[in-house]
Amino acid sequence: MQHTNFDSLLSLVAHDQEMLSLKKSMQTFLDQKEILQKELHSVHDAVQIQKQLVHDAVKEEHMQEQALEDVYVQEDRMQKQLDSAQDYKQFQSFTKELQGIQQEKEKQEQALMQAMNKKLHQEKMLAQLQQTNDDQFAHLQEKIQTLQEQYDAIHLEYEQAAQEREQKCMLVPKEWMEMYTSMSASVHNPIVPIINESCGGCFYPITRVLLQQAIRNKLVQCQNCCRIMYISP
């Protein structure tokens, strides 16, 4: 019975190691998925930033159009005043003002042309970015979906292993189970083989008494690290 109990404990340990491996695999998939989701957000953000640049360029174009329209109104008004000048002095004054307005008109026309070119450039950049990012977005979504399916498969396997563990725990004596659970919370390898009459975990030499007990399949603990030790077949 002692030997059967010990075999049950070792079977539980091996099962827990398999579950730990599954858990690490699940975490790896989650980490990879998080990285891809960040890339997905970056792709989306890049498009949104470019859309904002287009919006700003359109707004700037409208402002330049309005500014030029205001100059046209000033030019028309000043031209009418010039046409109705009463004397030479007034004519010269209106002419000077009109020339200033016309110079401003040229500046505003150039500014409007620059704004229009800028808008066209930003719209072209947006179209190119959307095409590239649509392809990248679809590719990333496909990879995320694949990772999710792989994660779901391993998660299902983990849940099944957890149910099997409950049955394995029932085959281990309560005292041993408590000892194993306590040690599992402290170290990742709570049960180790005896190697060259030393603890396989910390390599602390064991006494002859403990060695003989281990040979008889008794549960023994390292006097240094308290790990559970056994004779490896």
pTM of this prediction? 0.68
| 73, 23: one domain | yes
| 121, 187: one domain | no
| 108, 187: one domain | no
Residues 40/140, Cβ–Cβ less than 8 Å: yes
- Strand, coil or helix: 71: helix
Mean pLDDT in runs of 10 for the chain (233 residues)?
A: 74 93 95 94 92 96 96 93 88 91 94 96 94 90 95 97 95 90 88 92 93 86 90 75
Count: domains in the chain: 2
For the chain, state the CA radius of gyration.
Answer: 41
| 22, 63: one domain | yes
Structural domain for 84, as ranges: 2-171
DSSP secondary structure letter of residue 172: S
| 57, 78: one domain | yes
| 186, 120: one domain | no
At which of 121, 140, 171 does a domain end? 171
